């Protein structure tokens, strides 16, 4: 069995490779080439929690589980808010193959999935990228999304002004694109063609009243029931896509709250993004509609990424 560290993950896999792999992974899931049960979300007594996420890649012959802890206030003690490992097994004989740090796997696969959705759903002429949240996921999403659209400007707002300013300085230097901090979330929402929400907010930060026609939203941060980023008006105005219907219906407050309020019905969930990849469901149909991709994060994405890293490390004769 091998152990792959956080820094090695990025040496082995690029964001461009992750985008290609996630497109294939989403299509595989919707064709029955992989299987997954709903993840278990486990609360700790101090308000922190951990997730257990199993998946089986039937055709590729791997199975495994991601075990990830989420400690939202960890930044105050200089530690990441998300930490954990992926355990990878061989499905032909049950042998354990690898333990891989999951911080970079989570960062890569989440942003890569949003890039797949953004490529299918955002306007082709989208130029302004907006972020609500300026942490790990925002950085990775910027790296991924500039690969699928010609982005000229990036806007960012975070509840922490220091976090926004640090993001703007770092990302401008890294990608050579103008990154501007905004005074509030509405400013970002109103001026962006593509908005990505990647915060730890527990009540909505994206207000539907500020949305302009033709916007695409990646709603990524609120992936557990206690969290919510998108208000009911924004959801009701949007053509709504999910990574997996069952995950969305089980844990997404962004969808379940407007559903409970009677503002939307279950049918408001238009399609799974995997079916758009496969051409079974339509993506954007005109320049006016507002599209929203709700990414809850799927175990198949983690196990497919882990399997790719394992195989590439073996191919590079690093094993």
CA distance to 110, 153, 251, per residue, from 176 (Å): 23, 10, 37
Decide whether 97 or 105 has the Cβ nearer to ligand NAD.
Answer: 105
Q: How many CA atoms lie within 13 A of 201 on its CB side?
A: 24
* Residue 135 interacting with ligand NAD (CB under 6 A): yes
Q: How far is the CB of 314 from ligand NAD (least distance, A)?
A: 27
* Residue 133 interacting with ligand NAD (CB under 6 A): yes
* Residue 51 interacting with ligand NAD (CB under 6 A): no
CA distance to 24, 63, 112, 146, per residue, from 115 (Å): 13, 25, 5, 9
Decide whether 67 or 159 has the Cβ nearer to ligand NAD.
Answer: 159
* Residue 70 interacting with ligand NAD (CB under 6 A): yes
Nearest to 13 by CA among 143, 186, 205: 143
Among 143-151, 206-214, 231-239, 295-303, the segment contacting ligand NAD (CB under 6 A): 295-303
* Residue 158 interacting with ligand NAD (CB under 6 A): yes
* Residue 295 interacting with ligand NAD (CB under 6 A): yes
Nearest to 295 by CA among 238, 244, 255: 244
Q: How far is the CB of 82 from ligand NAD (least distance, A)?
A: 5
Contacts of ligand NAD in 100-119 (CB under 6 A): 106, 110
Q: What x/- string results for residues 162 through 191 when contact with ligand NAD is judged by CB under 6 A?
A: -x----------------------------
3-state secondary structure (DSSP) of residue 280: coil
Nearest to 305 by CA among 80, 41, 66, 32: 66
Q: Specify whether the CB–CB gap between 221 and 181 falls below 8 A.
A: no
Structure-token match 């999951």, residue found: 102
Q: Specify whether the CB–CB gap between 69 and 42 falls below 8 A.
A: no
Among 89-97, 132-140, 267-275, 281-289, the segment contacting ligand NAD (CB under 6 A): 132-140
Rounded to an integer, what distance in angstroms lies between the CA atom of residue 31 and that of residue 34? 8
* Radius of gyration, CA atoms only, the chain: 19
Contacts of ligand NAD in 210-229 (CB under 6 A): 220-221, 223, 227
* Residue 242 interacting with ligand NAD (CB under 6 A): no
Among residues 198, 264, 290, 304, the one that binds ligand NAD under rule CB under 6 A = 198
Where does this chain bind ligand NAD (CB under 6 A)? 70, 75, 81-82, 106, 110, 133-138, 158-160, 163, 198-201, 205, 220-221, 223, 227, 295-297
């Amino acid at each position: 069995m091998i152990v792959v560290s956080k820094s090695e993950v990025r040496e082995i896999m690029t964001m461009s490779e992750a985008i290609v792999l996630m497109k294939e992974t989403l299509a595989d899931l919707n064709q029955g080439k992989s299987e997954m049960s709903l993840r278990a979300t486990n609360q700790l007594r101090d308000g922190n929690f951990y997730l257990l996420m199993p998946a089986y890649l039937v055709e590729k012959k791997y199975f495994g589980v991601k075990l990830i802890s989420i400690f939202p206030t960890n930044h105050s003690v200089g530690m990441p808010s998300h930490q954990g490992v992926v355990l990878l097994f061989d499905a032909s004989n049950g042998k354990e193959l690898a333990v891989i740090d999951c911080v970079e796997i989570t960062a890569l696969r989440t942003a890569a999935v949003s890039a797949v959705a953004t490529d299918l759903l955002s306007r082709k002429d989208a130029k302004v990228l907006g972020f609500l949240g300026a942490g790990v996921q925002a950085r990775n999403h910027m790296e991924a999304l500039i690969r699928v659209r010609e982005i000229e400007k990036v806007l960012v707002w975070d509840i922490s002004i220091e976090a926004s300013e640090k993001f703007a300085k770092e990302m401008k230097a890294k990608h050579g694109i103008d990154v501007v901090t905004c005074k509030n979330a509405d400013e970002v929402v109103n001026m962006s063609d593509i908005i990505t929400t990647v915060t730890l907010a527990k009540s909505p930060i994206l207000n539907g009243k500020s949305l302009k026609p033709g916007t695409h939203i990646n709603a990524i941060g609120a992936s557990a029931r206690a969290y919510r980023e998108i208000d009911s008006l924004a959801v009701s105005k949007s053509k709504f896509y999910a990574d997996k219907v069952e995950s969305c219906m089980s844990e997404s407050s962004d969808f379940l709250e407007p559903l409970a309020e009677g503002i939307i019905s279950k049918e408001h969930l238009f399609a799974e993004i995997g079916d758009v990849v496969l051409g079974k469901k339509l993506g954007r149909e005109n320049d006016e509609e507002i599209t929203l991709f709700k990414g809850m994060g799927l175990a198949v994405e983690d196990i497919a990424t882990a399997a790719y890293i394992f195989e590439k490390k073996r191919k590079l004769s690093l094993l």
